[in-house]
Amino acid sequence: MLRTLLNLKQAGVVGINRRNADYILRYNERSLYPLVDDKLRTKRLAIAAGIAVPELYGVIEIEHDIGNLPDIVSGHKDFVVKPAHGSGGNGIYVIIGRINDRYQHNNGSLLTEEDLEYHISNILSGMYSLGGQPDQALIEYRVKFDPLFESISYRGVPDIRTVVFRGIPVASMVRLPTRMSDGKANLHQGAVGAGIDLATGHTTNAVWQNHPVEQHPDTGANIRGFKIPHWDKLLTLASQCYELVGLGYLGVDVVLDRELGPLVLELNARPGLSIQIANGIGMQKRLDYIDQLTEIPVSAQERASLAQDLYLRI
């Protein structure tokens, strides 16, 4: 056990206590949390700053407005319903189409109007928000993910999580939904996480349920060596989010849309640490290096290339 501990230290693995004490508590001001915890505010900020996000179709804020749902989605065949204050991908319903009067859930089930309204009602009453606070339901554009990912994801949108420290990307991973994760892209729910070479945008090794894997568990396709399209643009986009909300230690979730390119899906003030397992390397050394920088480049582009430079050096 002691050897494991020393090895982990050696590998520069950041634990939850260190993340909370040294990064989140020091660099993330509490007053800024609502900017990322409320996805509606994040979205409005991003739109104002010219950062690409999935289009917002409508917001349902009170129980009475649930009746407006058919109007909001009338022009759209497919859409996503998500709680504004949700976390961990909970409470997100992805509707991929309609059959007669039913909504087609991406997990294969068919939902009636009533089912969907009950779900929205649950969202409003705070079922998915931290502390059960009353919430809002966002109805937005469903990302049509790049066909590139088709072979390595199962029902759902793979997203790319980047941890950004003081505006400089530190590590990235692509999260691939599996049958087990029910289309969600969270590692603890069973998604596959694949580390990304920041310099080139190629996937490196992958983990599933804390075990290293080479193939996607459902599709059987090879995960390693996958080139993420628009990589440099995506990394710059992630860097930009630092100015957007001002959080020093930030998780940026980006999805790649077939037509629109990288879109910022959501931001996270307490990004998880599984990204280290996916990349097979600890973040400590890079975080320490950035922590000691006296000057951080002003432009997001420069920060992104600094990140690529750091990836090769440290």
Partner 1 sequence: MRQLHLLLLVIVLCAIGLGLATYKVTTLGLPLTASEKAEVWNVEARIIFRAKPDTSVKVSLPLLFNPSGYTILDEDFVAANYGLAIEQDDSGRTALWAKRRAEGKQLLFYRAIIYEDAEKTTDSGKPPVYPSIPDYPENFRPIIQGLLDKARQQSADTVSFAQQVIKQLNATSPAPELKLLLEHINNSRNLAKGIHWILAGARIPTRIIQGLRLEDGRRYSELESWIQVHNGKQWRTLNIKDGQEGLPSNFIIWQIGDQKAFSVEGGNEIGLQFSVAKTLRELVDIAESRAVLKGSHLMEFSLYSLPVQSQNVYKILLMVPLGAFVVVLMRNLIGIKTFGTFMPVLIALALRETELAWGLLLFCLIVGLGLLLRAYVDRLKLLLIPRLASVLTMVVLLMTSISVIMHKLGLEMGLSVALFPMVIMTMTIERMSLTWDEAGPAEAFKQGAGSLLVATIGYLVMNIHALQHLIFVFPELLLVVLAAMLLFGRYSGYRLTELWRFRALAKR
Output Rg (C-alpha) for the chain, integer angstroms.
Answer: 19
Query: What track of x and - describes contact with partner 1 for positions 210 through 249 (by CB under 8 A)?
Result: xxx-------------------------------------
Q: Which of 36, 1, 35, 8 is nearest to 273 (CA)?
A: 8
Provide φ and ψ at 179, rounded to 5°.
-60, -40
The three-point CA angle 302-307-313 to 5° equals: 125
Cα separation, 209 vs 32, in Å, equals 32
Query: What track of x and - describes contact with partner 1 for positions 40 through 69 (by CB under 8 A)?
Result: -----------------------x------
Contact (CB, 8 A) for 263 and 257: yes
Query: What track of x and - describes contact with partner 1 for positions 256 through 295 (by CB under 8 A)?
Result: -----------------x--xx--xxx-------------
Cα torsion angle, 285, 286, 288, 289, sign: positive
Q: Does residue number 5 form part of the binding site for partner 1 (CB under 8 A)?
A: yes
Q: Which of 116, 160, 206, 207 binds partner 1 (CB under 8 A)?
A: 207
CB under 8 A: which stretch of 52-60, 162-170, 208-216, 293-301 binds partner 1? Answer: 208-216
Contact (CB, 8 A) for 180 and 107: no
| Amino acid identity for residue 261 in this structure | G
Query: What track of x and - describes contact with partner 1 for positions 173 through 192 (by CB under 8 A)?
Result: ---------------xx---
Task: List residues binding partner 1 (CB under 8 A).
Answer: 1, 3-5, 7-8, 11, 13, 15-18, 20-22, 63, 88, 90, 114, 118, 121-122, 125-127, 132, 188-189, 207, 210-212, 273, 276-277, 280-282
